[in-house]
């Protein structure tokens, strides 16, 4: 009886090993089929990477839609009217001309805001939209706003500005 008990236990142990081996090998192969591996992360597929790159490209394209650097018609106008070839240098010249008004004790006059309390309004961000318009953000440290400006290139090469519209965001009422 003792021999038959050991025989039954041996058969059960062999069957358990066979079923366990079969279970883990089939589980591993099904995981490999469902998630293809990449070099760094086995959970990222090439389709996911391609979609991410496409989404980032679309966002970049949307962000640069209104910019002088990507507007061929505006660049042609600048070349024909003022003989400006170097657009990045010209854009920097316009930005510096606008930011130079921040040094005024009353603040930048192109924010369309008067000095409130002891803090003056200064322009912090500038983006050239095309050959004629600039959008800028400004702040006095407590209030923030945006202004749309026209700019002109004078005969002597100087830059002049004209306020088209300005908006000051309301202070938080918390």
Average pLDDT, integer, range 56-76:
86
> Which two tokens mark 99?
């930011």
Evaluate if residue 39 carries a pLDDT over 90: no
Average pLDDT, integer, range 143-165:
93
Handedness of CA 94, 97, 103, 106 (dihedral sign): negative
Does the reported pTM lie above 0.75? Answer: no
Location of structure tokens 């236990």: 9
Q: Is 112 helix (H, G, I), strand (E, B) or coil?
A: coil
Average pLDDT, integer, range 107-121:
88
How many other β-carbons are positioned within 10 Å of the β-carbon of residue 75?
18
Size of the chain in residues: 174
Count each helix (H run) and each strand (E run) in the chain, helices first.
Answer: 4, 4
Average pLDDT, integer, range 147-171:
92
Average pLDDT, integer, range 101-123:
89
Least confident of 42-46, 105-109, 154-158: 42-46
Evaluate if residue 160 carries a pLDDT over 80: yes
The confidence band for 108, taking pLDDT boundaries of 50, 70 and 90, is very high
Q: Determine the Cα–Cα distance for residues 82 and 94; give it in Å rounded to an integer.
A: 14
| pLDDT value of position 62 | 80
Helix ranges (H only) for 35-104 are 46-63, 72-82, 87-99
Q: Determine the Cα–Cα distance for residues 9 and 43; give it in Å rounded to an integer.
A: 42
Contact 113, 121 (CB under 8 A): yes
The confidence band for 2, taking pLDDT boundaries of 50, 70 and 90, is confident
The confidence band for 139, taking pLDDT boundaries of 50, 70 and 90, is very high
| pLDDT value of position 71 | 87
Evaluate if residue 43 carries a pLDDT over 80: no
């Amino acid at each position: 009886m003792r021999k038959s008990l050991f025989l039954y236990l041996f058969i059960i142990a062999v069957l358990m090993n066979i079923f366990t081996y079969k279970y883990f090998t089939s589980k591993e192969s099904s995981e490999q089929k469902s998630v293809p591996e990449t070099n760094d992360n086995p959970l990222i597929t090439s389709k996911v990477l391609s979609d991410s790159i496409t989404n980032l490209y679309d966002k970049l394209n949307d962000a640069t839609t209104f910019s002088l650097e990507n507007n061929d018609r505006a660049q042609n106008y600048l070349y024909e009217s003022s003989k400006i070839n170097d657009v990045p240098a010209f854009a920097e010249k316009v930005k510096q001309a606008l930011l130079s008004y921040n040094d005024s004790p009353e603040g930048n006059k192109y924010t369309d805001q008067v000095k409130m309390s002891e803090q003056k309004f200064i322009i912090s961000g500038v983006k050239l939209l095309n050959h004629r318009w600039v959008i800028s953000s400004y702040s006095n440290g407590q209030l923030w706003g945006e202004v749309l400006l026209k700019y002109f290139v004078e005969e002597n090469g100087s830059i002049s500005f004209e306020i088209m519209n300005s908006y000051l965001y309301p202070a938080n009422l918390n």
